[in-house]
Amino acid sequence: MRIQRRLTTPRWLVVAVPVASLIAAFAAAAIVLLIAGKDPGATYARLFDRAFIAPGAITSTLITATPLLFTGLAAAAAFRMRLWNIGGEGQLYLGAVGASGAGLFLRDQPPAVIIAGMVGGGLAAGAAWSSIPGVLKAYFKTNEIITSLMLNYVAGLLLTYLIFDSRSFWRELGTFSARAFPQGKQLPDAATWPTFDLGVAVIPFGFLLGLIAALGLWLFYRSTSFGFQARVLGDSPSAARYAGIKTRRVVVAMMALSGALAGVGGASEIGDFRHVLDPRGLQQAGFGYAGIVVAALARYNPFAVAVVAFLLGGLANAGYSLQGPDFPAGLVGVLQGMILFFALGGELLLRYRVSFRARLAAAPS
Amino acid sequence: MNPEVTAGAVPAVAMRSITKRFPGVLANDSVDFEAREGEVHALLGENGAGKSTLASILTGLYRPDAGDIEIYGRRVEFHSPRDAMAAGVSMVHQHFRLAASLTVADNIVLGHQAAPWLRASPRTIESQVTDLARRYRMPVNPTARIWQLSVGEQQRVEILKSLYRGARILILDEPTSLLTPQEADDLFETLRRMTAEGRTIVFVSHKLEELMAVSDRVTVLRGGRVVGTVETKSTTPPQLARMMVGREVVFAQSKEAHRMEGGEVVLELRGISADGDLGIKAVNDVSLAIKAGEIVGIAGVSGNGQRELAEAISGARRRSAGDVIVDGRSLRNGDPEDAIARGIAHVPEDRLGTGVSPSLSVADNLILKSHRRAPIATRGILRRQRIAANAKQLMSRFSVSAPGPDTPTRLLSGGNVQKVVLARELSSRPRAIVAANPTRGLDVGATESVRELLIKAAAGGVGILLISEDLDEVLALADRIAVIYEGRIAGVVPRDEADVQRIGLMMAGAPA
Amino acid sequence: MKRVTVLALAAMAMAACGGSSGGSTASSSAAFKAAWVYVGAASDAGWTKAHDDARLYVQQQLGGQLVTTFKENVPEGPQASQVIDSLVADGNKIIFGTSFGFQDQMDAAAKKYPNVYFEQATGFKMETNLAEFFGAAEDADYLTGMAAGAASKSGKIGFVAPFPIPEVIREINAFALGAQATHPGATVQVIWTTTWFDPAKEKSAAESLISAGVDVLGQGQDSPATGEAAKAHGLKWSGYDSDQTSFAPDQWLTGTVYHWGPYELTRIKAAMNGSWKSGSYYGSLKDGFVDIAPYGKSVDASTQAAINAKKAALINGTFYEFTGPLNDQSGAVKVPAGTKLTLDQILTMDWFVKGVIGNPKGS
């Protein structure tokens, strides 16, 4: 068997491959389920039901999809120009720090001001954090994969420090409960982001913001001079320099943009869902790393990121409903992993041609 | 060199009725091709004629849609270059495939090593390489790293790599396009040694003089079909040219001496110096003045600072000293944007990697330098209709042949890529153009039209600095000829007084 | 292959029709349903395992009357809410949250689902249908400390601790006081790992304590990684959360363990017969909520006797470890002789007793 790169992708394949790979994923996972003694039909029915169909399922799915949308966009924005920002995780933490700081600082303002401040705070903090690897890459040629990844750990320790290890602005010191167990300050009610109840589902403000960001990112790459410069630089640095593009500036700006997106994701975690800076929950969730998978599955297309984030959110959400004493979390993980694996495998089929080598290959075709 | 010895015997290569289709293009249309053992067989054709496709099929890079291949009479089917290598067929590509940070010896054995415990010691490999190099007169230091080598030396490494792996049939794709005349002569000598041993060379080229000098037979392709195969002895360059382009070609293309005695100076270099990539001074105190409507040629052997000079002018490289003055005002150092804004167009030597952004569409590459400004962008927003209109207009005006404006530029032939670069650069209404090797690697037709465009631009009052390693090109186009040697201008002569002998001596570093 | 594909297609079709059959637990419609939400893996050999042991205990006690399930590795935050929603949708009538970080989601769920009982292990919030429960681990920690003190020759004991928070600080203090009871002048050197569960980090903390010269290790972590380090270096070791004898049988001393089961059994029974009332429960040695694990073979008979005597005294109230005089790290008197610390005081404890080496503020 050999694999060749496709020069062009036939249109029918673009539709057929994802469908076929999903079918293959479920078929293969069914074998695993049968071996584990589960009924694949019932398992899948429950998976789909809890992800997308049951009352409130979509609302629940959106809760996980929202941060994935932002971190997916953050990764897609950078990866599109071959800037490997692996730091979405830490940038999301910083966004949460910035947004909760802003929300606490502006506590006496009207809701619109607080919310705008939180979005701005998350955006700025995420951008500032990602600018560190950006500047290091642009001016000192350090590898952004390493620096952005390492800064995730630093950001995680910073979160822990702010709540567990210091008497910071974010830490609640007043209540008895907080003296017994360190906690962040609860944000005022006015800092709770609005939701939009569509009947079938409640849409968090953050998800809408994410959709707007997706549209913005698409327009940015397609229709702005700066996005054009990013595309050129991603494709050929020497052509970019030749065209008079300030390459360092573009690298720093694109890292900042990527971090800003992840940062707004962190702001949404605070404003939409947590309402408190919660170092443990944020670190357990690992949305930043999952965003890399989202971006890869979406082939860096912002709209596809939204779709993939929604599907993965559903898969994660429904995964918990499968779990139980006789359905270990590990098996759920295998199921989720197989679905992702096949989706990525299908991706390969789109870009490469796989041909099986016949032994008696003498006959001309 | 002795075709009669093997005439009648089984051919080394026989390709029959090869057909290969790419989306929208029939690259090879039922091509028959035969190369005898021990001959140099030239494959001639314009860019896009199907030479490279045929060569790629022979080396297993592509699979033909129809047709058979026989190697020494045995039917083969190659699925990869590895299969072809196993049958003794190897290709030296126009763009080398060497790992820059590894040594020559490492590159030669790379991908061809046995399991670790069976590997020869580095010293053994080095001595094998040295022996091989001596046998074919290709001096190269096996412990040198690739990035330290000149283009000619890198090519030797590529050829040695093929020989080391036991290639009996070597395909060379435009092997002289990056070589100096002396390096080319050395290469031909090497090829003769190889054929004398019974190896077969398929020599892909579109340079008539060199294939007249080196080949035994020539097969001419045009539009994906074979026009004919002729014995080199019994043909002439004009006949081959006719076969290749399907019409008579006038080679005496040259610029009418465009005397604009009173022409103002548009581009002046005042004592500029610049360092090369390795931090060694590559351009040393160069001063020149180019007037409107004038073409000043810079002749010289490759690697004497030409690329660095062009970059120092266009801003892509910082100058360590001196000024570039356009219309009386100095350009900001190391700032290509300033040079672009002040009307300095640049046709870079590396057209696919630098002149265009290869994965971007033709339309996008046509706005590579104007993407910030009206009318292409207003307030930072690209105007898509204007980009499309610009592409449509420039593609037809400069006859860029591409499936469409949205085609990724890397899929275009070399000539068309260069047309995209020129269309963009010339349409920006420049004051001066710095053109580095603008026709290198292009076929006769494309060369002709590129030169035409430059001459027309000069006639329109643009000052042109033509940096070319092709002395004939400089002699044909330039009003004045400056010779560069080791980063310095060794002398400047007007074309009427140009004496090839003297220029050649200056190029070689002899005191003028 | 073909048949499986058809199967998968059928599954999707079923899902599309909104069928929601199947589930993680074989259900008999009459049985009462109870669920546990775990922050770690049920097999973590520590905190979460202790909770899962309780679930199994309850299940065993009530047999067919009860159906139990659990969700593991649930991140604190909005995902916990999703999980609780899903559990309620599955018909669970009582839900146990087993991490402090679930408190807000449990509280929100209690308001959202008034007909479901919620039980939050470790926390402070209460609703009419949300109760809170935890145990006086410090009493057991004191006894564990006694075993550690007796096992130490040099009097230098190491302690691998998660976070500098009152819950952990009072455990360390009780442990140190216990150690000093059997080995006067013993010191307890603390390293903060800033994680509840990270075996690699815990192990390396234990290794650095060993290289600092301690000869017995204690821990407040949720994994038995400290025991692995102790085993590798032949040191005695006391555990936490559940009986971890099997990880290093020759090194094992004892450890503080939680028996969440009996409390949970009572509560589920109350929920089943409708007598459930909210409340805040602080279990003790007396009711068996906390205890020490079975002694390891290296705890000699006289130490065992001394520990058992102290245990009896703690149970009948004649002894309380946080009774003055207690000195802080500097040696200054913090609690005058005869004064007993109140529950609120120990719940917010932020200082170390004399003999503890480390910073109660962290790092």
Same domain, residue pair B213 and B231: yes
Whole-number Cα distances in Å, B3 to B14, B200, B262, B465, C86: 16, 11, 60, 46, 84
Same domain, residue pair C244 and C219: yes
Spell out a b/e string for A178-204, using b for 16 or more CB atoms within 10 Å of the CB, else e.
bbbbbbbbbbbebbbbebeeeeebbbb
Token pair of C327 as six digits: 């000195």
Angstrom distance (rounded) from CA B490 to CA B509: 8
In this structure, of B262-271, B337-346, C49-58, the range with the lowest mean pLDDT score is B262-271
Angstrom distance (rounded) from CA B236 to CA B224: 23
Same domain, residue pair C190 and C298: yes
At C224, give phi and psi (nearest 5°). -85, 25
How many CA within 13 A on the CB side of residue A350?
A: 20
CATH number of domain containing B23:
3.40.50.300
Q: Is A32 helix (H, G, I), strand (E, B) or coil?
A: helix
Query: What is the reported pLDDT for A364?
Result: 34
Same domain, residue pair B142 and B50: no
Angstrom distance (rounded) from CA A185 to CA B61: 64
Chain B residues whose beta carbon lies within 8 Å of the beta carbon of residue A216: none
Q: Choose among B87, B98, B84, B19: nearest CA to B53.
A: B19
Q: Among all residues of chain A, which has the CA nearest to that of B387?
A: A223
**Separate counts of helices (H) and strands (E) for chain B:** 17, 22
Q: Among all residues of chain C, which has the CA nearest to that of A268?
A: C78
Same domain, residue pair B36 and B119: no
Q: Which of C119, C135, C151 is the last residue of a domain?
A: C135
Query: What is the reported pLDDT for B3?
Result: 42
Query: What is the reported pLDDT for B45?
Result: 80
Given CB atoms, is A199 within the 8 Å cutoff of chain B? no
Q: What is the pLDDT of residues B490-505, one digit of tens each?
A: 889 888 887 776 776 7
Chain A residues whose beta carbon lies within 8 Å of the beta carbon of residue B357: 231-232, 235-236, 239-240, 243
A46 min Cα distance to partner chain C (Å): 5
Same domain, residue pair C235 and C245: yes
Query: Average per-residue pLDDT in chain C?
Result: 88
| Cβ contact A165–C82 (<8 Å) | no
Q: What is the pLDDT of residues C235-260, one digit of tens each?
A: 999 999 888 888 888 899 999 999 99
Report yes or no on B339 lying in a domain.
yes
Chain A residues whose beta carbon lies within 8 Å of the beta carbon of residue B367: 228
**Nearest CB to B316: which of A223, A236, A242?**
A242
Residue C263 has pLDDT above 70, yes or no: yes
Same domain, residue pair B265 and B414: no
Token pair of B4 as six digits: 């009669």
Chain A residues whose beta carbon lies within 8 Å of the beta carbon of residue C361: 165
Given CB atoms, is B410 within the 8 Å cutoff of chain A? no
Angstrom distance (rounded) from CA A193 to CA A267: 10
Mutation pick from B57, B68, B371, B376 vs chain A, by most beta carbons of A within 10 Å, is: B371
Q: Among all residues of chain B, which has the CA nearest to that of A2?
A: B79
Structural domain boundaries enclosing B123 = 97-167
Task: State which of A114-128, B357-371, B475-489 shows the largest mean pLDDT.
Answer: A114-128
Residues in chain A where the model's pLDDT stays below 50: 357-365
Q: Quick check: C177 and C146 in contact, CB under 8 A?
A: no
Q: Which of C106, C135, C164 is the last residue of a domain?
A: C135
Same domain, residue pair B172 and B82: yes
**Nearest CB to A224: which of B337, B380, B411?**
B380
Q: Choose among B276, B279, B342: nearest CA to B310.
A: B276
Distance of CA B482 to the CA centre of its chain: 22
Give the position of tokens 């068309």: B416
Report yes or no on C17 lying in a domain.
no
| Cβ contact B68–A357 (<8 Å) | no
- CA triple C331-C333-C336, angle to 5 deg: 155
Report yes or no on B457 lying in a domain.
yes
Query: What is the reported pLDDT for C254?
Result: 94
Q: Which of C90, C119, C135 is the last residue of a domain?
A: C135
Q: Where are the alpha helices (DSSP H) in chain C?
A: 2-16, 47-62, 78-89, 103-112, 137-151, 166-182, 199-211, 225-233, 260-273, 301-316, 343-347
Q: Which of B397, B428, B459 is the last residue of a domain?
A: B428
Same domain, residue pair B82 and B172: yes
Same domain, residue pair C144 and C131: no
Same domain, residue pair B119 and B264: no
| Cβ contact B353–A236 (<8 Å) | yes
| Burial (CB count <10 Å: 0-12, 13-18, 19+), residue B234 | exposed
Contact partners, residue A330, CB within 8 Å, separation at least 6: none
B189 min Cα distance to partner chain A (Å): 36
User: Chain A 224-283, CB below 8 Å of chain B: which residues?
Assistant: 224-226, 228-229, 231-232, 235-236, 238-246
CATH number of domain containing C329:
3.40.50.2300
- Written in H, E and C, the secondary structure of B474-497 is HHHHCCEEEEEECCEEEEEEEHHH
DSSP A343: H
| Cβ contact A225–B380 (<8 Å) | yes
Query: What is the reported pLDDT for C18?
Result: 36
Same domain, residue pair B127 and B185: no
Same domain, residue pair C203 and C327: yes
Q: Where are the domains of chain A?
A: 1-38+327-365, 62-224+251-324
Same domain, residue pair C38 and C173: no
In this structure, of A165-179, A332-346, B445-459, C216-230, the range with the lowest mean pLDDT score is A332-346
Number of domains in chain B: 4
Same domain, residue pair C197 and C247: yes
Q: What is the pLDDT of residues C150-184, one digit of tens each?
A: 999 999 999 999 988 888 999 999 999 999 999 99
Report yes or no on C282 lying in a domain.
no
Same domain, residue pair B180 and B84: yes
Angstrom distance (rounded) from CA B378 to CA B384: 11
**Nearest CB to B354: which of A224, A239, A362?**
A239
Angstrom distance (rounded) from CA A270 to CA A272: 6
Chain A residues whose beta carbon lies within 8 Å of the beta carbon of residue B341: 244
Number of domains in chain C: 2
Given CB atoms, is C41 within the 8 Å cutoff of chain A? yes
Given CB atoms, is A48 within the 8 Å cutoff of chain C? yes
Question: Is the confidence metric ipTM above 0.90 for this complex?
Answer: no
Report yes or no on B193 lying in a domain.
yes
Token pair of B339 as six digits: 């040079």
Query: What is the reported pLDDT for B7?
Result: 47
Report yes or no on C353 lying in a domain.
yes
Crossing angle (nearest 10°) for helices A302-322 and A40-48: 120
**Nearest CB to A235: which of B75, B358, B377?**
B358
Structural domain boundaries enclosing C62 = 31-135
Q: What is the dihedral of CA C85, C86, C91, C97, to 10 degrees?
A: -70
Query: What is the reported pLDDT for B353?
Result: 85
Q: Among all residues of chain A, which has the CA nearest to that of C79?
A: A64
Q: Which of B428, B445, B460 is the last residue of a domain?
A: B428
Q: What is the pLDDT of residues A342-364, one digit of tens each?
A: 877 776 666 666 655 443 333 33
Same domain, residue pair C154 and C109: no
Peptide bond into B375 cis (omega under 30): yes
Same domain, residue pair B444 and B501: yes
| Cβ contact B348–A229 (<8 Å) | no
Element containing residue A321 per DSSP (H, E): helix A302-322
